Amino acid sequence: MNTVWSEHVQGIQTLYLSRKLRFDDRFFEQYDRIFRLDRHAKMKILEIGCGPGALAEALRGWYPEAEITAVDRDAGFLVFAKEHIPGVTFTEGDVTALPFEDGTFDAVISNTVQEHVEPGAFWGEQKRVLKPGGVCLCLSGRRGISCTAPCLERTEKEAAYWNRCPDWKEELEQYNVCRYPMTEAGIPQSMAEHGFVNVTTGYAVIDLTPDDPKYPPETAEMMFEAMRQNDIEAARRYFSGQELQEVLSLVNARFDERARLYRCGMKQWDTTVSVTMILRGTA
Ligand SMILES: C[S@@+](CC[C@H](N)C(=O)[O-])C[C@H]1O[C@@H](n2cnc3c(N)ncnc32)[C@H](O)[C@@H]1O
């Protein structure tokens, strides 16, 4: 059973909660103007490298007539997705050898997967399983903006624990993460070189600023929870026993304080702005 990604790279809650925010219905318009898929069509959509399934879950709501299948090789993500997300068929499989017949799908979509997979296989397999004229949508995270609230900065005591962790970049190499990074110009070029036509690009800019009144309290609280879970899952990877308890209590203290300030209206205006490049091409 392959659980390398969910155990060593990004935890289930880390990915699920951050993507649930990013693919919230309030941002659908931004995606829709680039996806240009018929919301009422009875099409077959495949998501590749779906992780714990937040995008597939959003697609289910956005395209109610579509049949949605999602594939990933990490069994940990799939157990979570199958348990929490009805209405999507989650399947274990490798994106370099997709377990589907040629010409099965009307659309194939991925989010932050391209940089981890050899380009020939990444594009080639999507093209193979798409019907002629089918749509390939490739979402790629680009550099965004992050401004942290002072109460969320790690104390010296907490930082001393984290500083002892192995170098993250070296770890990622060990797990073949981000082996094939591409620039904003490189991805569309690569897509076209691998046989897709009518390639277009666009960007979705998602600003997550909990203190902005455009966000209701449950969304603001979810932003804190997504960040908290990111640190909790990382702590569980690196620490154990008494040390883990100590780190978790320091992490929780920071996020409890952030939530307290929010609830009593003391605005911090901390923000995370993610920029997602979206490529669209046809097979
Ligand atoms: C950065 S995560 C993104 C997950 C999901 N798309 C999301 O946005 O939450 C990359 C995902 O690609 C999956 N992945 C990487 N290489 C893969 C491969 N060769 N076959 C199947 N899945 C793969 C990982 O298991 C992981 O779930």
- DSSP-derived secondary structure for 224-267: HHHHHHHHHHHHHHH--HHHHHHHHHHHHHHHHHHHHHHHTT--
Indicate whether residue 80 lines ligand 1 (CB < 6 A). Answer: no
Closest C-alpha residue for ligand 1 atom 20: 94
The answer to whether the beta carbons of residues 108 and 48 sit under 8 Å apart is: yes
Map residue 169 onto helix, strand or coil. Answer: helix
> To the nearest whole number, what is the mean pLDDT of the chain?
97
> 47: which residues sit within 8 A by CB, 6+ positions away?
55, 56, 59, 68, 69, 70, 71, 108, 109, 110, 111
Indicate whether residue 3 lines ligand 1 (CB < 6 A). Answer: no
Among 241, 176, 240, which Cα is nearest to 2's?
A: 176
Map residue 46 onto helix, strand or coil. Answer: strand
Indicate whether residue 254 lines ligand 1 (CB < 6 A). Answer: no
Low-confidence ranges of the chain (pLDDT < 70): none
The answer to whether the beta carbons of residues 237 and 8 sit under 8 Å apart is: yes
The answer to whether the beta carbons of residues 174 and 242 sit under 8 Å apart is: no
Residue 245 phi, psi dihedral angles, 5° rounding:
-60, -40
Indicate whether residue 280 lines ligand 1 (CB < 6 A). Answer: no
Tokens of residue 83, six digits: 């348990």
Amino acid at site 206: I
Indicate whether residue 226 lines ligand 1 (CB < 6 A). Answer: no
Indicate whether residue 117 lines ligand 1 (CB < 6 A). Answer: yes
Tell me how far the alpha carbon of residue 173 lies from the centroid of ligand 1, in angstroms.
15
Tell me how far the alpha carbon of residue 116 lies from the centroid of ligand 1, in angstroms.
8
Kindly report the pTM of this predicted structure. 0.97
Map residue 167 onto helix, strand or coil. Answer: coil
Pocket test for ligand 1, best of 47, 69, 73, 98 (most atoms within 8 A of CB): 73
Closest C-alpha residue for ligand 1 atom 12: 49
Place of tokens 């989010």: 111
Map residue 136 onto helix, strand or coil. Answer: strand
Tokens of residue 217, six digits: 């309290």
Q: Which CATH superfamily is domain 4-282 in?
A: Vaccinia Virus protein VP39 (3.40.50.150)
Indicate whether residue 234 lines ligand 1 (CB < 6 A). Answer: no
Q: Which tens digit of pLDDT belongs to each residue from 150-163?
A: 999 999 999 999 99
Q: Which tens digit of pLDDT belongs to each residue from 80-135?
A: 999 999 999 999 999 999 999 999 999 999 999 999 999 999 999 999 999 999 99
